[in-house]
């Protein structure tokens, strides 16, 4: 999916977080968003997902202004902090099959296997560790058949083996033309996939760099 961010500004009441942000991504391009705590990474991601309201003509996905899109399709999202409490018992398999609209197929199985979910596939979601739960949310975003995949600090709490597995999956998706936007404080694991870097700082200052200009 193509992403075109055009003079995007955003403020919470008085505080400017995004100030005239501009860049474009083509199919299969990988953007890494970096910046200190509070620099606006999650705010930017929430604007892309219409969780926060932006003005018309600020963000286009393919050729559609996001304000004109009624239902988002083919967008996978892993939020930064997952707040999760199910009052009723639900298993990992139920969570994942319910977010997969097709019958279980080879792609489904490959996602489950590569994130090593089998060992707790039948367990109740409430019994998982933080990193296991994060992997479920990553899997769910991948199962959405994304053309645009947006992940806000997806590796927090995930062990190094599973981060490697995630990097492999992201590389495969990128090769298939999926556009990927990922925010992170741990840049090393995405370095080889990154095409562009959006480096954010306070008060809406930012740099949009090609990966080879990035230290
Ligand atoms: N709902 C909100 N209302 C008011 N201000 C907010 C709100 N959410 C975030 N902010 C402020 O906007 C700024 C950007 O926050 P944001 O969460 O986008 O930063 P971030 O780069 O994702 O930080 P982190 O690395 O800690 O996740 C911060 O100063 C924050 O205090
Ligand atoms: Mg954040």
Q: Is the CB of 35 under 6 A from ligand 1?
A: yes
Domain range enclosing 148 = 3-213
Ligand 1 centroid to 143 CA: how many Å? 28
Look at strands 148-152 and 75-78 and give their pairing: parallel
Give the torsion sign (CA, 48, 44, 149, 122): negative
Confidence of residue 83 (pLDDT cuts 50, 70, 90): low
Give the torsion sign (CA, 176, 180, 185, 191): positive
Q: Whose CA is nearest to atom 25 of ligand 1?
A: 37
In total, the chain counts a number of residues equal to 215
Cα 143 from Cα 155, distance rounded (Å): 18
CA angle, 56 as apex, 50 and 58 as ends, to 5°?
Answer: 75
First to last CA, the chain: 27
- pLDDT on residue 44: 97
- pLDDT on residue 200: 97
CB proximity list for 131: less than 8 A, separation 6 or greater: 157, 158, 159, 162
Kindly tell me if the per-residue pLDDT of 76 is higher than 80: yes
Q: Is the CB of 43 under 6 A from ligand 1?
A: yes
- The more confident residue out of 87 and 76 is 76
Contact 201, 35 (CB under 8 A): yes
CA angle, 187 as apex, 182 and 190 as ends, to 5°?
Answer: 60
- pLDDT on residue 126: 87
Give the count of alpha carbons within 13 A of 33, CB side only.
24
Q: Which two tokens stand for residue 77?
A: 């999202």
Contact 1, 66 (CB under 8 A): no
CA angle, 180 as apex, 176 and 60 as ends, to 5°?
Answer: 105
Q: Whose CA is nearest to atom 31 of ligand 1?
A: 38
Ligand 1 centroid to 174 CA: how many Å? 28
Q: Is the CB of 202 under 6 A from ligand 1?
A: no
Cα 85 from Cα 70, distance rounded (Å): 28
The count of structural domains within the chain is 1
Report the nearest atom of ligand 1 relative to the CA of 39: 21
Report the nearest atom of ligand 1 relative to the CA of 43: 18
Output the domain CATH number for residue 71: 3.40.50.300
Kindly tell me if the per-residue pLDDT of 6 is higher than 90: yes
Kindly tell me if the per-residue pLDDT of 215 is higher than 80: no
Which of 28-42, 79-93, 127-141 has maximum average pLDDT?
28-42
Q: Whose CA is nearest to atom 13 of ligand 1?
A: 38
Confidence of residue 144 (pLDDT cuts 50, 70, 90): confident
- The more confident residue out of 31 and 84 is 31
Confidence of residue 85 (pLDDT cuts 50, 70, 90): low
**Ligand that lies nearest to the alpha carbon of residue 199, given by its number in the listed order:** 1
Ligand 1 centroid to 17 CA: how many Å? 8
Confidence of residue 12 (pLDDT cuts 50, 70, 90): very high
Q: Name the least confident of 42-46, 121-125, 155-159.
A: 155-159
Ligand 2 centroid to 152 CA: how many Å? 7
Confidence of residue 104 (pLDDT cuts 50, 70, 90): confident
Confidence of residue 202 (pLDDT cuts 50, 70, 90): confident
- The more confident residue out of 122 and 162 is 122
What are residue 207's DSSP bridge partners? Answer: 199
- pLDDT on residue 102: 80
């Amino acid at each position: 999916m193509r992403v075109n961010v055009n003079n995007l500004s955003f403020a919470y009441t008085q505080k400017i977080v995004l100030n005239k942000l501009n860049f474009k991504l083509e199919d299969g391009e990988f953007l890494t968003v970096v910046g200190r705590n509070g620099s606006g990474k999650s705010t930017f991601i929430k604007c892309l997902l219409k969780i926060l309201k932006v003005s018309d003509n600020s963000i286009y996905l393919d050729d559609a202004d996001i304000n004109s899109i009624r239902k988002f399709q083919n967008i996978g999202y892993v939020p930064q902090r997952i707040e999760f409490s199910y009052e009723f018992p639900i298993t990992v398999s139920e969570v994942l099959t319910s977010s997969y609209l097709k019958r279980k197929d080879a792609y489904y199985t490959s996602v489950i296997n590569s994130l090593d979910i089998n060992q707790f596939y039948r367990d109740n979601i409430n019994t998982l560790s933080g990193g296991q739960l994060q992997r479920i949310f990553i899997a769910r975003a991948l199962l959405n058949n994304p053309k645009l995949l947006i992940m806000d600090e997806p590796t927090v709490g995930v062990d190094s083996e599973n981060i490697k597995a995630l990097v492999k999956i992201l590389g495969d998706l990128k090769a298939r033309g999926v556009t990927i936007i990922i925010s992170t404080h741990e840049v090393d694991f995405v370095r080889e996939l990154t095409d562009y870097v959006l480096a954010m700082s306070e008060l809406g200052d930012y740099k949009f760099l090609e990966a080879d200009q990035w230290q």
